[in-house]
Amino acid sequence: MGVYKKSDLYELWFNFRGQRDELQMMSDFALCDKKEAQALINEFAIKLEAETLDGAHRGREDRGAVE
């Protein structure tokens, strides 16, 4: 992974995610090819989604009544 730890790469990605050159930037920071960079981005996106689904936002109770 070069000079960055995976946690460092996650923090970097968090700041540049969604930009048009996101894949190239991850590849450059992680010192890997684009296939490996895409795998990291996918992993980080899942991690971010899981972090946003904390206990207060899980389950059907918070979704309101379905009519």
Residue in this structure with the two tokens 């109770």, named with its chain if needed: 61
Q: Which of 32, 37, 49, 36 is nearest to 13 (CA)?
A: 37
Alpha helices in the chain (DSSP H): 6-16, 22-30, 34-52
Write down the pTM of the prediction.
Answer: 0.75
Q: Is 19 helix (H, G, I), strand (E, B) or coil?
A: coil
Q: Is 20 helix (H, G, I), strand (E, B) or coil?
A: coil
Q: Which amino acid does the sequence have at 4?
A: Y
All residues at 6 or more sequence positions from 42 whose CB lies less than 8 Å from its CB, including other chains:
none
pLDDT tens digits, residue range 20-66? Answer: 999 999 999 999 999 999 999 999 999 998 888 765 655 555 555 45
